[in-house]
Amino acid sequence: MMRRGDGQNDGGARDWDLVARARAGDMDAFAQLVTRYQAPVIHYCRRMVGATQDAEEIAQDSFVRVYRHLGRLKPKARFSTFLFGVARNLALNFLRDAGRRGRGVTGSIDAQPALGDDARRPDRTARLHEIETMIELGLQRISAEHREILVLRELNGLDYDSIAEVLRCRKGTVKSRLARAREQLRIQIEALGGGAL
């Protein structure tokens, strides 16, 4: 799977500067944080819960909660780690509540295939879409625990330390859980007929 950037490369200290400004009432500073992290958080939530509309609502709620608690935030870790932790908790709550209502994860496959120069080749575009759909279906068939670690690592590009902070576990646990998650996804993709991917 291709890993997507999560906007954290050199922005860690700058994020906390923006948090400090937002805490002092600078709404533009908080808007910059939202602009920087909105797409990766929505992407993470969509992979967790399955549908874009639900993911957008969870992401919005994540930013609202972060804003409400600006006064309590301390730069002990990356801001993005804290934000993904909030989004994770809300996504897991959504999944738990959906399970109680008998709804489960929605099977909405509304992913856009990665297009570039290959967009001019219909056969290549169709194959990319087929692969993306197979991965999406595979992710929906594995446990939330395995899904979230794959999304954090492979799609949002978080390093092991950041994932350990988000999941509140040890780095060794992250590595072993990630290995199991990759294996589970591989099994599901093969079951869907994607053994040749």
**Are the beta carbons of 3 and 154 closer than 8 angstroms?**
yes
The pLDDT value given to residue 137: 85
Where in the sequence of the chain do the CATH 1.10.1740.10 domains occur? 8-106
**Is the pLDDT reported for residue 114 higher than 60?**
no
Where in the sequence of the chain do the CATH 1.10.10.10 domains occur? 116-197
The band of 136, judged by pLDDT with boundaries at 50, 70 and 90, is confident
Q: Provide, rounded to the nearest whole percent, the portion of the chain with pLDDT above 70.
A: 81
Catalogue the E-assigned strands of the chain: none
Query: How many angstroms separate the CA atoms of 156 and 138, rounded?
Result: 17
Catalogue the E-assigned strands of 59-158: none
Q: Which CATH architecture has domain 8-106?
A: Orthogonal Bundle (1.10)
The band of 102, judged by pLDDT with boundaries at 50, 70 and 90, is low
Quick one: three-class SS letters along 128-143?
A: HHHHHHHHHHHHHHCC
At 62-97, the pLDDT tens digits run 999 999 999 888 888 889 999 999 999 999 999 888
| CATH class given for the domain over 116-197 | mainly alpha
